[in-house]
């Protein structure tokens, strides 16, 4: 795409969601590995923190006047990654992200849609808007086959969509944090490698969280240590505390906020991650830790299929006995873990492809 000196990066950044922060970090890392001198400006809800953590310039994501001014000097606008284009979490999400893309296009700035997970999109007019906008983009990539299928069904040409994977596969645990230092302030003492649970609320029923509490009790009774690790900090911490309140045995909840690198190091100390959050599962695989996935969204199924696995439970249908049995099967059978982690090299190659296409 020529000589790129300045890039604007748009995503769900600055909201204390570890998954999206990891996406931000991995995109910045991937760009800088190819061109360390590029000027990156990130749109964030917390520009000061984003600027400090990633050593970039950052602007308030809703300050359209400043964004318009910054775009004047940009050579590329990156939209991604993550699940930006869906209308499940709100009706303003798609208009916001597509509006920014249109703003860049009005400024004459090339747009790259970067490793996004598309959908669900229930509003038909949004589907048409996405298709029309993407056809005007210089590069479009998605992180799973289902996203590609959706775009093609809405009218985006098949050869205009590059199917890659989540850029977070490029991250690695830094290995510079001592588990005792990290967890000492939590009052957590690690005896042996624990099982990490990443849970979230899904729907109004408390049944899933109660079933998860029974699963955790079963594992503790067999000698395991359980730690709950929030990924979307406030939301997941509350869900973790609720599971803990239903339990008969003792488990620990990580109460403080950590960087993505600290979260990865905590996960790297574990023997298994049982997760509902996509990026808790991705963190685990990049750390060489096997996973048990609980699906609440097709993106979980897609990820698990990439590592030769499948969901061990589905949100709204979690069964204590079935899930406990599947967790114990993974713990007792190292071949399952090896089969999952074996895919990492291939996944990292796919994660690098957008950077190569855009910058080399």
Give the residue, 89 or 114, on which the prediction is more confident: 114
Give the Å distances, CA to CA, from 126 to 92, 144, 154, 178.
11, 20, 10, 47
Q: For residue 61, what is the enclosing H or E element?
A: none
Give the residue, 314 or 174, on which the prediction is more confident: 314
Q: Are 259 and 234 in contact (CB under 8 A)?
A: no
pLDDT band for position 177 (cuts 50, 70, 90):
low
Give the residue, 179 or 62, on which the prediction is more confident: 62
Residue spans per domain, the chain: 6-164, 179-344
pLDDT band for position 228 (cuts 50, 70, 90):
very high
Least confident interval from 57-61, 122-126, 336-340: 336-340
pLDDT of residue 175: 67
Q: Where are the alpha helices (DSSP H) in 136-172?
A: 145-154
Give the residue, 269 or 19, on which the prediction is more confident: 19
Average pLDDT, the chain: 94
- DSSP E strands in 186-324: the ranges are 195-198, 226-228, 252-253, 272-275, 291-295, 313-314
For the domain made up of 179-344, give the CATH fold. Rossmann fold (3.40.50)
Q: For residue 25, what is the enclosing H or E element?
A: helix 18-34
Least confident interval from 75-79, 82-86, 179-183, 258-262: 179-183
- CB atoms inside a 10 Å sphere around CB 288: 15
Query: For 70-107, how does the pLDDT look when each residue is reduced to its tens digit (9 = 90+)?
Result: 999 999 999 998 999 999 888 999 999 999 999 999 99
Take residue 180 and report the two structure tokens written for it: 């005792």
Q: What secondary structure letter does DSSP report for 123?
A: -
For the chain, give the percent of residues with pLDDT over 90: 85
Q: Quickly tell me which residue has 């990026």 as its tokens.
A: 279
pLDDT of residue 334: 84
Give the Å distances, CA to CA, from 15 to 50, 222, 234.
10, 37, 10
Q: Is the peptide bond before 71 cis (omega within 30 degrees of 0)?
A: no
| Mean pLDDT computed over 119-136 | 96
pLDDT band for position 154 (cuts 50, 70, 90):
very high
| Mean pLDDT computed over 184-193 | 83
Take residue 254 and report the two structure tokens written for it: 């990580």
For the chain, give the percent of residues with pLDDT over 70: 98
For the domain made up of 6-164, give the CATH fold. 3.40.1190
Query: Three-class SS of residue 83?
Result: coil
Q: For the CA atoms of the chain, what is the radius of gyration?
A: 20
Residue 42, beta-bridge partner list: 9, 58
Q: Quickly tell me which residue has 């993550």 as its tokens.
A: 82
Least confident interval from 8-17, 127-136, 171-180: 171-180
pLDDT band for position 9 (cuts 50, 70, 90):
very high
Residue 161 phi/psi, 5-degree rounding, is -115, 120
Which of 313, 307, 310, 256 lies closest to 284, judged by CA? 307
| Mean pLDDT computed over 44-51 | 97
pLDDT band for position 224 (cuts 50, 70, 90):
very high
Tell me the Ramachandran region of residue 57: left when phi exceeds 0, alpha when psi lies from -120 to 50, beta otherwise. Answer: beta
The whole-angstrom separation of Cα 130 and Cα 312 is 33
The whole-angstrom separation of Cα 61 and Cα 216 is 40
Query: pTM of the full predicted structure?
Result: 0.94
pLDDT of residue 350: 96
Residue 144 has pLDDT above 90, yes or no: yes
pLDDT band for position 174 (cuts 50, 70, 90):
confident
Give the Å distances, CA to CA, from 181 to 5, 103, 125, 204, 262.
40, 46, 51, 37, 11
The whole-angstrom separation of Cα 115 and Cα 118 is 9
| Mean pLDDT computed over 123-130 | 97
Query: For 319-348, how does the pLDDT look when each residue is reduced to its tens digit (9 = 90+)?
Result: 999 999 999 999 998 888 888 999 999 999
């Amino acid at each position: 795409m020529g000589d790129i000196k300045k890039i604007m990066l748009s995503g769900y950044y600055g909201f204390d969601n570890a998954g999206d922060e990891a996406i931000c970090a991995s995109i910045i890392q991937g760009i800088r590995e190819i061109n360390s001198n590029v000027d990156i400006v990130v749109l964030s809800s917390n520009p000061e923190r984003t600027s400090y953590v990633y050593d970039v310039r950052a602007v308030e994501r809703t300050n359209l006047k400043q964004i318009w001014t910054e775009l004047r000097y940009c050579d590329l606008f990156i939209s991604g990654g993550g699940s930006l284009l869906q209308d499940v979490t709100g009706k303003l999400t798609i208009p916001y992200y597509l509006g920014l893309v249109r703003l860049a296009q009005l400024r004459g700035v090339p747009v790259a849609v970067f490793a996004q997970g598309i959908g669900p999109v229930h509003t038909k007019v949004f589907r048409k808007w996405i298709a029309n906008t993407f056809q005007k983009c210089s590069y479009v990539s998605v992180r799973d086959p289902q996203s590609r299928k959706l775009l093609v069904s809405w009218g985006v040409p098949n050869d205009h969509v590059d199917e890659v994977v989540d850029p977070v596969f490029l991250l690695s645990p830094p290995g510079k944090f001592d588990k005792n230092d990290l967890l000492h302030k939590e009052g957590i003492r690690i005896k042996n490698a624990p099982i990490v649970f990443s849970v979230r609320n899904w729907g109004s029923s408390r049944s899933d969280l109660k079933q998860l509490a029974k699963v955790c009790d079963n594992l503790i009774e067999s000698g395991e240590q359980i730690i709950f690790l929030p990924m979307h900090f406030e939301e997941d911490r509350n869900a973790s505390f609720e599971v803990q309140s239903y339990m008969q045995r003792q488990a620990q909840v990580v109460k403080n906020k950590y960087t993505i690198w600290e979260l990865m190091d905590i996960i790297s100390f574990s023997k298994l991650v049982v997760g509902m959050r996509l990026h808790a599962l991705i963190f685990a695989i990049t750390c060489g830790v096997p996973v048990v996935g609980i699906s609440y969204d097709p993106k979980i199924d897609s990820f698990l299929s990439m590592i030769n696995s499948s969901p061990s439970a589905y949100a709204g249908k979690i069964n204590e006995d079935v899930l406990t049995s599947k967790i114990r099967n993974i713990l007792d059978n190292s071949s399952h873990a090896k089969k999952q982690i074996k895919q990492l090299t291939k996944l990292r190659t796919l994660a690098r492809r957008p950077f190569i296409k855009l910058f080399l």
